[in-house]
Structure 1
């Protein structure tokens, strides 16, 4: 279980600007090293690879990379908007974390910064005579990286923004979230099966929004130091209003409650880190969009239900009865994510839009029948109950 500081670091590194800035700084660092390497090179090399050999290449790179970067940004934005309109608007934030797109755009921007900075340094006369050969070798490496990035970008563009790419991306992140919860059904704490004690003090939410992340390690450490037992009443993914209880603390004072509230991240949008139902919701919303009268694409709904069935079959969190003896964070109690909750986030939203599409409902019934054979008894019961509600009692 990662801490809040590591989570913030991970979120920063997944943003496009981070890779762009990192590679641009690296290119500037390479140019700064060039004068230090110049004295150790033979003078004859400077005569063959002087400023006249490297400046034209740098000029071409500087002008070409600016155009390529601008064009690639336009393509990226257009593809992401298309994917958001075909699937669900909430997938846009997930598409922005695409590592291939980030690496390619960062390479193009880094090549532009490198070439433009090198031209400026040469024209300003800052580089000594022997630096031209070092810059020439570096430029050859930069050109090689740019060519590889272009080839990678061409291959990626054939799939970028398509429905297949979008669904694979959502399923991959959903699978990671479900597997993480499968390892720690209660986020490493003790499973709460009853109501918190009536004597427990409420921990108010710091703002209105969705619970996005609970720093279990920090909360458990502070609870241990203060001799407090915590009971989470709002799981990641649930909505809470500012000032309303997000957790309860037994034996806590007002100062502890205020500190604990700061360790529970509440924001405007949901996230995948501790919310296994978010990805299932995105898949269900994609099927809803496909079944809308303006789109009328039942094939996408079939594919979505297939992916949902696969996710629930292969990555369902196990039933857990974690106690203080085997919990990683024994001072925190919270309810586990149930099979019923995962199932309700998956199929009912699709059924809402599939009333006039009996073939879609038949596919849903087949999926629920398949899940009735799940090794987890809770999923078996939940699938049976849902199939009875939608098909046998209708």
Structure 2
């Protein structure tokens, strides 16, 4: 179970600016330590690889990398907007976390910062002839990194913004989220069938803001419950919407300080997150199929591909909601409902059925998919799929 601190660190590392700052800082550090490496330079290299050899290359990098970075940013924004327009607007936030794009752009910006800073330091007389040899050697390494980044960028551009790339990205992220919940259906908390007794006897823990529940720090809630010798039941799980002041959890205690501290352990935001919400990815895939089936697009082939991905995700990664029954959870003082197979299934297929109910190919594929999921090794998924298929047949 990831802590809130590690979650925030992971979110920061997914930001484009983080990699740009990190690589730029490394380039400046390389320039700063160059004079300290001069004792390791052979004396006969000064005439061949000194100041006059390094400055022309640095000038080319300084002028070229700025143009390449600006062009690449324009391409990235255009590709992401295209993907958001053809798939679903909510995929834009996922595309911004594309590590390949971030690494390539960070390399370009880092090369620009390195070359421009090196030119300034040379003109200021900061480097001796021996230090200039070190800078030249580092410059050769930077050129090699930039060439590698360009080749990687060219390969990546062939699919950036395409429907295949977008669907693959959503599926991979959804698979990761589903597998995490498969390992911990209740986020390592004690499974709660319902929180009725907490609502009757306990104290409501109000939401600090209106929005979607994005993250529940179960470990911190466990610590608070142990200190107060009580139990806390989660009322709104990740992915659900809650209004400010409404109960997001209940505690079997009347301690107001405990309720305030527990409320801070439940993050609420304007948008949903993949971190603890496996149904979010299924919703994005279903929205993509809905848009493909709209009269303005009329692309049932994409909808069929999406249903294939949904069927694969649900078959291979459905969490077993009964897995923690009879087991000792890691956080026994926190109660949370398990993610149900019925909920996952309802996020995947009904929206597509609503949009493509008049298309025989869509309905036929959905009927076969539900039939296959009806033989799922997870009894809950098999039951939910069989029931949904029967309901569709009755219509």
Question: Quick check: TM above 0.5?
Answer: yes
Residue 225 of structure 1 and its aligned partner are, at CA, apart by 1.0
Report SS of the residue matched to 2:196.
Answer: coil
Please tell me whether the aligned partners of residues 54 and 132 of structure 1 are also in contact (alpha carbons under 8 angstroms): yes
TM-score between both structures, scaled by the size of structure 2: 0.98
Match of residue 336 from structure 1: 338
In the alignment, does 2:28 pair up with 1:28?
yes
In the alignment, does 2:14 pair up with 1:14?
yes
Match of residue 210 from structure 1: 212
Match of residue 315 from structure 2: 313
- Deviation string 1:123-155 (CA, Å, 9 cap, x unpaired) is 011112221110110000000010011001000
In the alignment, does 2:394 pair up with 1:393?
yes
Quickly say closer, same or farther: Cα 1:46–1:24, change in 2 above 3 A: same
CA distance in 1, matches of 2:39, 2:316: 61
Residue 376 of structure 1 and its aligned partner are, at CA, apart by 1.3
Please tell me whether the aligned partners of residues 211 and 236 of structure 1 are also in contact (alpha carbons under 8 angstroms): yes
Match of residue 164 from structure 1: 164
Match of residue 49 from structure 2: 49
- Deviation string 1:171-212 (CA, Å, 9 cap, x unpaired) is 000000000000001000111113332111000001000000
CA distance in 1, matches of 2:66, 2:274: 35
In the alignment, does 2:128 pair up with 1:125?
no
CA distance in 2, matches of 1:255, 1:300: 52
Structure 1 segments unaligned to the other structure (5+ residues):
none
Match of residue 3 from structure 1: 3
Please tell me whether the aligned partners of residues 235 and 249 of structure 2 are also in contact (alpha carbons under 8 angstroms): yes
Please tell me whether the aligned partners of residues 226 and 252 of structure 1 are also in contact (alpha carbons under 8 angstroms): no
Aligned length: 393
TM-score between both structures, scaled by the size of structure 1: 0.98
Residue 324 of structure 1 and its aligned partner are, at CA, apart by 8.4
**1:172-191 map, 5 Å:** 172-191=172-191
Please tell me whether the aligned partners of residues 191 and 321 of structure 1 are also in contact (alpha carbons under 8 angstroms): no
Match of residue 116 from structure 2: 116
CA distance in 1, matches of 2:185, 2:40: 60
Residue 228 of structure 1 and its aligned partner are, at CA, apart by 1.5
CA distance in 2, matches of 1:310, 1:189: 28
Residue 41 of structure 1 and its aligned partner are, at CA, apart by 2.6
CA distance in 2, matches of 1:92, 1:194: 36
CA distance in 2, matches of 1:308, 1:182: 16
Residue 379 of structure 1 and its aligned partner are, at CA, apart by 1.1
Structure 2 segments unaligned to the other structure (5+ residues):
none
Match of residue 250 from structure 1: 252
**1:145-156 map, 5 Å:** 145-156=145-156
Match of residue 383 from structure 1: 385
Please tell me whether the aligned partners of residues 223 and 331 of structure 1 are also in contact (alpha carbons under 8 angstroms): yes
CA distance in 1, matches of 2:133, 2:282: 55
Residue 357 of structure 1 and its aligned partner are, at CA, apart by 1.3
Residue 359 of structure 1 and its aligned partner are, at CA, apart by 1.6
Please tell me whether the aligned partners of residues 195 and 235 of structure 2 are also in contact (alpha carbons under 8 angstroms): no
Please tell me whether the aligned partners of residues 323 and 330 of structure 1 are also in contact (alpha carbons under 8 angstroms): no
- Deviation string 1:269-318 (CA, Å, 9 cap, x unpaired) is 00001001000000000000100111000000000000000110010111
CA distance in 2, matches of 1:187, 1:359: 38
CA distance in 1, matches of 2:206, 2:348: 30
Please tell me whether the aligned partners of residues 271 and 278 of structure 1 are also in contact (alpha carbons under 8 angstroms): yes
Residue 323 of structure 1 and its aligned partner are, at CA, apart by 6.0
CA distance in 2, matches of 1:11, 1:319: 28
CA distance in 2, matches of 1:303, 1:234: 33
Comparing 96-105 with 41-50, which one deviates more in the overlay? 41-50
CA distance in 2, matches of 1:24, 1:256: 44
Please tell me whether the aligned partners of residues 59 and 119 of structure 1 are also in contact (alpha carbons under 8 angstroms): yes
Match of residue 80 from structure 2: 80
What is the CA RMSD across the aligned residues, in angstroms? 1.1
In the alignment, does 2:135 pair up with 1:140?
no
Comparing 348-357 with 314-323, which one deviates more in the overlay? 314-323
- Deviation string 1:80-101 (CA, Å, 9 cap, x unpaired) is 1001101000000100111110
CA distance in 2, matches of 1:14, 1:360: 36
Quickly say closer, same or farther: Cα 1:116–1:331, change in 2 above 3 A: same
CA distance in 2, matches of 1:112, 1:194: 58
CA distance in 2, matches of 1:39, 1:384: 75
Match of residue 62 from structure 1: 62
